[in-house]
Each structure stands twice: as structure tokens, then as C-alpha cells.
Structure 1
Amino acid sequence: MAWNWRPGKNRHESKSAPPLVALTGPGGPNWGARDGSALTRDGYLRNAVAYRCIRMVAEAAASVPLVTAHEAAARLIRKPAPDMVGPAFLEGVYTQLQLHGNAFIEAVTLPDKGAGEEDGIDALYPLQPGRVRPITDGRGWAERWAVRERRGERMLPREAVLHLKLFHPQDDILGLPALAPARRALDLHNASADWAKSLIDNSAKPSGALIWSGHGRMPPEQFDRLKQDLDALYSGAANAGRPLLLEGGLDWRPMSLSPADMDFLEARNSAAREIALALGVPPQLLGIPGDNTYTNYKEANLAFWRMTVLPLAEKMAVSLSVWLDEPLGGDVEVRCDLDRVPALSAERETLWARLEAASFVTPDEKRKLAGLG
């Protein structure tokens, strides 16, 4: 921004052009895109903190056993497809749900079944969320799903696809990726990693300016030789700490701030904590330095299971129960078997001890309170 400054009447007026006052400031930050593919690229594929958090949540939620008394549903949960087992299938679904905010499961039925074979679902296959788009009706609700393939698209009815999503306040159909609110922290963490790598690569080339104090301009041949020497002798990690030799009226003036002044390390740790917070993982479980919310590792791990893992597993169990009711022809109830979760053993032992000490409760009531039926 610039203004033409006009002197007052009491000042000496110059016939030359009025002086120019220019103000400059730093440019605005360059934030990355917030769509699912960009978050997958910058988060899961390029950021160690986001990758580890998503893996922890997905693997922990997939380890929660899903049980049901319905035989056909139990078979699908145990082995959803001929080339896929239950934990691997669930881990992929949970990962896609965090990365894209949406997860799609297709129910596959064989068209030509033999005599005596029951109707229903034969296999479950996860769909890539980036290849699925909703086909809406006049009211804006999804009535079909279009799946992009190598050659065109194929249409699937709404009841053939189980759509899991994370709540999005501005979208009635698709969900919000878990990394989207932490996009700024993710960009900051990645940018600080790039800065640190650049600092290592150029550790022997300090930022600054070489001032020529001779008469006139530096001779072209001397200028070219100086550039070659800087690139060959003072650049790269192999030349770290090498002193800069100056001659012929050259003077070195550093112009950049040190890492301590910029405090990049603390900014990087703060960004890592925000990424872990958005994904529901206590930073203490990742070894990120800083303020620890929980007093010890045990409490942090229990909070991780109770506040992040179990709600995700319960969402899957309830969704499968409702979705499988009609095609399997029965009342399907899928639930999480928390008694087989090792991380909750301490809570389970405490509950059993309290029930054992309760003399006013009958054995049948104790079994019911313990969730044993």
C-alpha cells in the first residue's frame, strides 16, 4: 500500500516528485485443501503423527470383538469376503472413516445360487470413499450410490450399501473427515519438517549476504567463481560447520533468525498435540512432549479406549444390526463383547469385586449387572 505524501504549506515545497511511503507486510498463510484425498496425502501418507494416530484408532477398534447370535451375520463378521478376515476388514473401514469422514460397505449377493442355498448376503466389500458419490432425489436425499470404476460408473441401490459417516454440520449426506479441523496444525507440522530438512541440507550455507566493499561492481569472473565455491564447498550436510573464507573486500552479514528465535521445535510439538487431539489420541500415548492431561500412561490409555475406540466400535455394531435385519430375514443384533477387551480388564475386575461384596443382590441380579444375562 502506498500514499503520495503532500507537505504542508509551512514546509519547503520541492518541485520534484513527492516522496513515496511504502508499507509492506508478510503474505497470508498458504493452507492446504481440506478434501479427503488431500488429507490422505498430507496426513496419512506424509505425516508420522497423523498416520500413527489413525492406525492406533483403527487397529484398536478392529480388535473389539463383534458378536451376534444370528448365524449368517456371525459368518459375515468373521469372514466378510473369501479373501478377507474380519479384523482386517474392520481396520480398513475404520481407517477410511477417519480419513474421509465416510465409509461404504457393499453387500454382494450371488445371482445364481444352487438348490437349497438360502437367500441373503454372500460377502461384504469396502468401497473407496473417493470413488462413491450420492445420487440425490428432488429433496436432496441420497436414493442411489454411483461407484466409479475403470470404465464408467455402476449404480447401487441405497439398501445395498452401508454408509458410515462422521457428523458434518454443513452436509446432510456426507461426513466430515477427522483431520479436517486439524488441517492448519497438519500444515504447520509438515512445513516445520520441510524447514528442518532444508536446514540440514543447507547447514553449511548460512543465510545472509556477502557485501562487496571494493570499488565499483565485482568482476564477473570473480562473481561466478564465488557462486561456484559457495555451492561446492559450503553447501550440504557434509560441509556442516566449515568456516567461510573471505577475500578481496568481501564481508559477511547474517540476516536470518536462529532456530531458537523462531522456536520451531515448540511449534512442531504444539501442532502434533493438536493433530492427536483431533483424532482422539492422548498425546501422552505418542510420547509427544508437553502438558500431560493424565497423571500416568494407564489413565491415558483407558481414556483413549473409552472416549475414542469404544464409541467407534459401538457405531459399527449398531449400524450392522440395523442394516443386516432385512436382507438376512431376522432380528440381527450385533454387539461389542467388552469382556474380551484386555484394556478394560481393570474396570471389569473392579465391577466384579463390587458385585461380589453386595450381599443384598441375588446371583441372578449380579449376572445381569455384570452383563452376563
Structure 2
Amino acid sequence: MKAAAKKPGRLRAAALKWLGVPIHLTDGDFWADYFGSNSAAGVPVNHQTVLKLSAVWSCVRLISETISTLPLSMYEKTSTGKRVASHHPLQFILHDQPNSDTTAAVHWEASVAAMLLRGNARCEKLMIAGRVVGLQFLHPDRLNSFRRDGVKVWRYTDENGLQREIPNDRVWNIPGFSLDGKEGVSVIGYGAEVFGAAIGADMAASSTFSKGLMPTTAITYPSTLKPNQRDEARQTLESLSGAVNAGRPVILESGSEIKTIGINPADAQLLESRAFSVEEICRWFRVPPFMVGHAEKSTSWGTGIEQQMIGFLTFTLGPWLRRIEQAISKDLLTPAERTKFYPKFAVEGLLRADSAGRAAFYAAMVNNGILTRDEVRELEDREPMGGNAAVLTVQTALAPLDKLGQAEDGNAARASLRAFLGVPDAASKE
């Protein structure tokens, strides 16, 4: 039977109220986050305890830091394709700096981490004259909502304990995986059993190592001991336990014997269970285990680094990038702007192969008239050259097999005609 959450003590409640965070018994989100979800392992599971697991820490960092380093730009649709909308106000906000205190990389890192752990990332839209001029990330621990006359209002407490209200239309929400199409679900709540088992395995491992890899032991005597003898035997045994005292000899007297109680780490398959927990956690975040340092099994996402990055981009990062892009278009652009502008993450940097592979790919794209040389230079982060470098070119030496002789005869005829007329060819002019 699950234990009911206790309400906070008077000192804690008073401190929270002084900080501007009123606590009520009906604040389910606060109590769930503070006490954590109950798990069969008997340990609390919340966003703080799960981040102490190396697999969770690595998965959250891998996804959030990778997305935060991808360039996010506003693009303008043109008659010939697209171009970066450098004049659009959101370009600087999304790409460089959302507010005076935060860079774009840090902002997206925190937002994606909140989506991964809490299910939603919420930001305040900083407005001037009805236009978005900045974004302020709202920490989930200091944000809660209520309704006033049927209208949803958000209450936020800043770092100094000052509390303020934010209208609902000023709060921008980016939901993660959703079941109702509105709010994202928390992976911590749904994966409490898996995370709780992993935390329990880590705690068991720490306890085992603190005892010098020795299981719980008991000393048996042929006769009943007196209280003072029992205390002396217990103190002696405790002085020999622990990793520091491992290896010290034990003196047994009066026919006493030492027996182990419980299961040793090998029988409990402690190492195997911890390794399995890493794989289970990676499943929850859809991250291949090899990308968080778990290389016991080979990946099925391809053999080369390029194929593995394509799989990571397609199956892991792709849904998150799409959610962010569509949330920007939906909530930060006006209806008129949506027909002309759109946000897009640049993921080409993740797909770069080795230098030889890139050279072969670029040569094929340029020679077949698919990319210009300036477009290739842009992919390599080089300045455009302009002129003929911005023109699509194709190889003209290619011809059907039955036309090869005709091409040579035509060139010979042209040369003879030039000689007869006394007209020099292009090569002789140079």
C-alpha cells in the first residue's frame, strides 16, 4: 500500500510562503514533484533523484546539448527558394540571444531538458507593442497556474522570491510527447518503476562497496551470551567491517562461527541489473546505449559514424526539432507571417562524413547541376565567391555511345572552316 504524502513542517511551509510560494494540500503538482512518485523499489523518484543516475544525466545532456548547438534560423520564402530572414525580429532571438541574461544555446538547453524530464517547456513572451521581442525561460519548480473568473493565470516566483502573475497568452508552451494533444507527459511519472529500480540498484551497489564487498554476517555461539558479551562481540565485528578494514583477521573464540545473511552481489546479479537499467533508461529517452558510453552490445543503427548519426537525427532528435519548429510558427508568428516565414534547424553539421566522402558527394552534386560551388562553400562554412561560382554547371563531355563519332567529326569540320576563313579559335586568341 502506498504511503500518503505528508504535508510540510511549519518551518518549511513558512519559508516557502516567505519566498512567495503558497503551499496547499491541493497542490498536487508540488507534492508529486517534492516527494516523488512511489516506486516498487521503495525509493522516491523525481527530477532531482533521476538526474543522479548517470544514464539519465547522459541522455538528457546528449539530447539537450546537441539541439542547443544546432543553428536555429528564420527563413523567408522567395520566388527562387528561400533565404535567411536576417531582418526578422525572431532571427536574433532564436539564433543568438532570447533575452539580456541568456544565450540561445543555454536557453534551448534548459527548454529541451524541461521537455525531456517534465513533459513541457514554458517560456514567457516578452512583448512590446504586441510583438515578441524576447523569451524568458520559466523554471518549472517556480511556476504554477490557477484560474480567476474562469481565466487561466500563471504565478511565477523569481530567484529573489518575488512573485508575479503572467497572463496565459504570454506563456509559450512547447509540449513533449502528448496523450491529449495539449500537455506533454512526464517521463519521470510514467517510468517511475524503471528509474526507481535503477536508483535502488545504485544504492545497493554503494552499500555493498562501503562494506568492502562483504555481505551481512552473523556470529553464532554454542551457548547464550550475556548482554555485555553480546555488545563486545558486536563491537568487535563492526570494527572489522567496511572497505577500510577489509582483510583484517578475525579471531573466533568459544566455538563461534561466522555465517552470511542475505544474498551476495554475484547471486543478486548486481552488475547485470545495473547494466540492464542503462538499456532500459535509454529506451525511455530513445537514445542508443552506445552514445552514453554503454558499449556492451553493438548498435543496429549502422556501422559507420555517418549512418549512426543519421539514425540518431531521424529517430531521436527529429521529433523534438519538429515540435519546437511548429510551436514557434504557431505561437510566435502572426497568421500573415506564417505564409512567408518559417523556422528551421540546420542539421547538416551532424551529417558530415569524412573529408573524402564529402569531396565525392560535392563533386557529384556540382557536376550534375544540383548544387553550385557557392552552395558547397556554404555547407563548408566558407564565404561565397560569386560570379560563375553561383551558377549551376553540368558536365558536357557526356554523350550517347552512337554519337561519339559525330561529335569528333563536328569538331573537325569546325576547325577546317575556321582555317579556310582565317578565323582563329578561342585557344589561339588567348
* TM-score above 0.5, yes or no: yes
The equivalent residue for 2:210 is: 201
Contact 1:185–1:272 under 8 Å retained in 2: no
Q: 120, 132, 138: which is aligned to 2:143?
A: 132
Q: Which has the larger radius of gyration?
A: 2
For residue 314 of structure 1, what is the amino acid of its counterpart? R
The equivalent residue for 1:219 is: 226
CA–CA separation in structure 1 for the residues paired with 2:104 and 2:213? 53
**Deviation for aligned residue 1:363:** 6.8
Per-residue CA deviations over 1:99-133 (Å, capped at 9, x if unaligned) read 100000111135xxxxxxx7522321011223334
Contact 1:204–1:242 under 8 Å retained in 2: no
Quickly say closer, same or farther: Cα 1:297–1:213, change in 2 above 3 A. Answer: farther
Provide TM-score, normalisation by structure 2: 0.65
SS in 1 for 2:64: helix
CA–CA separation in structure 2 for the residues paired with 1:223 and 1:297? 64
**Deviation for aligned residue 1:325:** 1.5
CA–CA separation in structure 2 for the residues paired with 1:153 and 1:172? 28
Per-residue CA deviations over 1:41-69 (Å, capped at 9, x if unaligned) read 1112x111101110110010111111111
With 242-251 and 73-82 compared, the bigger mean Cα shift is at 242-251
**Deviation for aligned residue 1:353:** 5.5
Q: 282, 286, 299: which is aligned to 1:280?
A: 286
SS in 2 for 1:260: coil
Contact 2:176–2:323 under 8 Å retained in 1: no
Q: Given the alignment of the two structures, is residue 76 of structure 1 paired with residue 93 of structure 2, yes or no? A: yes
Aligned residues: 318
CA–CA separation in structure 2 for the residues paired with 1:64 and 1:86? 10
The equivalent residue for 1:240 is: 246
Q: Given the alignment of the two structures, is residue 252 of structure 1 paired with residue 252 of structure 2, yes or no? A: no
Alignment gaps of 5+ in structure 1: 1-27, 111-117
Q: Given the alignment of the two structures, is residue 43 of structure 1 paired with residue 50 of structure 2, yes or no? A: yes
**Deviation for aligned residue 1:31:** 5.2
The equivalent residue for 1:320 is: 328
The equivalent residue for 2:17 is: none
For residue 121 of structure 1, what is the amino acid of its counterpart? V
Matches within 5 A, 1:60-139: 60-68=66-74, 69=85, 70-77=87-94, 78-110=96-128, 120-135=131-146
With 235-244 and 269-278 compared, the bigger mean Cα shift is at 235-244
CA–CA separation in structure 2 for the residues paired with 1:240 and 1:179? 39
CA RMSD of aligned residues (A): 3.3
Quickly say closer, same or farther: Cα 1:187–1:362, change in 2 above 3 A. Answer: closer
Greater RCO (CA < 8 Å, at least 6 residues apart): 1
CA–CA separation in structure 2 for the residues paired with 1:119 and 1:143? 20
Alignment gaps of 5+ in structure 2: 1-38, 75-84, 380-389, 393-430
Provide TM-score, normalisation by structure 1: 0.74
With 124-133 and 294-303 compared, the bigger mean Cα shift is at 294-303
Quickly say closer, same or farther: Cα 1:328–1:42, change in 2 above 3 A. Answer: farther
Contact 2:215–2:260 under 8 Å retained in 1: yes
CA–CA separation in structure 2 for the residues paired with 1:251 and 1:276? 46
Quickly say closer, same or farther: Cα 1:252–1:130, change in 2 above 3 A. Answer: same
Quickly say closer, same or farther: Cα 1:152–1:287, change in 2 above 3 A. Answer: closer
Q: Given the alignment of the two structures, is residue 185 of structure 1 paired with residue 194 of structure 2, yes or no? A: yes
| % same residue | 20
The equivalent residue for 1:303 is: 311
SS in 1 for 2:241: coil
Contact 1:67–1:334 under 8 Å retained in 2: yes
Quickly say closer, same or farther: Cα 1:206–1:326, change in 2 above 3 A. Answer: closer
CA–CA separation in structure 1 for the residues paired with 2:122 and 2:334? 18
Contact 2:121–2:174 under 8 Å retained in 1: yes
CA–CA separation in structure 2 for the residues paired with 1:304 and 1:143? 41
**Deviation for aligned residue 1:285:** 1.6
**Deviation for aligned residue 1:236:** 1.6
CA–CA separation in structure 2 for the residues paired with 1:355 and 1:326? 37
**Deviation for aligned residue 1:335:** 1.2
CA–CA separation in structure 2 for the residues paired with 1:252 and 1:226? 12
The equivalent residue for 1:165 is: 175
SS in 1 for 2:117: helix
CA–CA separation in structure 2 for the residues paired with 1:204 and 1:316? 48
**Deviation for aligned residue 1:87:** 1.1
Per-residue CA deviations over 1:5-39 (Å, capped at 9, x if unaligned) read xxxxxxxxxxxxxxxxxxxxxxx933556xxxx43
